[in-house]
Copies of this chain bind each other. A is one copy, B any other.
């Protein structure tokens, strides 16, 4: 897919980023989004705030969404824990609650919501979001794949589908501002995915 070119984790082609300018632009983008909201976000405002040229920003990030996903990813890494505790229940609990907590606290929730909103009206934003999510699904699916390797999870299960179920639940909570999910509710979701809801196991 050509869209992987826009993935925030990768350098843009033909443009070596200057780390100090990159950090300044990311910080400016975050500040502009938080202060102005989605409607008031523009590359022009980011450039002015970061004292950077618009062409530099466009060379490094092909779209507003690509820039915002880079802000999101760099901020998320601060609080998001990628779990590997050796058992699938703890790992999925940590995965889901860490996602909810990361979005609830700090600015990353607001940034990600703005990318999701933009992606509904702008093809560039949708392509950047889809490329980003494909990478995230493959990464988070690893939690379930490891559990399969340990014999905890049935081999016919598709790992990425399971973590997609959990992250989609978190998306729904983010988009309706209901991120204040209790530990009990996190456990209820994870236990549903692990053990199902049937009174008797399927025959």
List residues of chain A with CB under 8 Å of any chain B CB.
37-39, 88, 113-114, 116-121, 126, 129-130, 133, 144, 151-154, 157-158, 161-162, 164-165, 167-169, 171-172, 175-178, 185, 188-189, 191-199, 201-202
| Chain B residues positioned under 8 Å from A171 (CB to CB) | 168, 171-172, 175
**Across the interface, do B196 and A192 meet the contact criterion of CB distance under 8 Å?**
yes
| Chain B residues positioned under 8 Å from A157 (CB to CB) | 188, 192, 197
Which residue of chain B is the closest to A162 with respect to CB atoms? Answer: B197
**Across the interface, do A121 and B39 meet the contact criterion of CB distance under 8 Å?**
yes
Expressed in whole angstroms, the minimum distance between the Cβ of A147 and any Cβ of chain B is 8
Task: Say whether chain A's binding surface is mostly helix, strand, loop, or mixed.
Answer: helix
With known contacts A193-B192, A194-B202, A202-B195, A38–B168 Cβ distance under 8 A: no
Which of B39, B172, B193 is in CB contact (< 8 Å) with A164? B172
**Across the interface, do B38 and A121 meet the contact criterion of CB distance under 8 Å?**
yes
Expressed in whole angstroms, the minimum distance between the Cβ of A102 and any Cβ of chain B is 17
Which residue of chain B is the closest to A115 with respect to CB atoms? Answer: B120
Expressed in whole angstroms, the minimum distance between the Cβ of A177 and any Cβ of chain B is 6
| Chain B residues positioned under 8 Å from A133 (CB to CB) | 176
Which residue of chain B is the closest to A134 with respect to CB atoms? Answer: B176
With known contacts A154-B198, A197-B144, A198-B194, A169–B164 Cβ distance under 8 A: yes
With known contacts A120-B117, A161-B192, A198–B152 Cβ distance under 8 A: yes
With known contacts A164-B169, A196-B195, A201-B201, A188–B38 Cβ distance under 8 A: no
| Chain B residues positioned under 8 Å from A153 (CB to CB) | 197-199
| Chain B residues positioned under 8 Å from A192 (CB to CB) | 157, 161-162, 165, 193, 196
Q: CA separation between A165 and B192, bound complex, in Å? A: 10
- The residue in A39, A114, A172, A185 that gathers the most chain B C-beta atoms within 10 A of its C-beta is A172
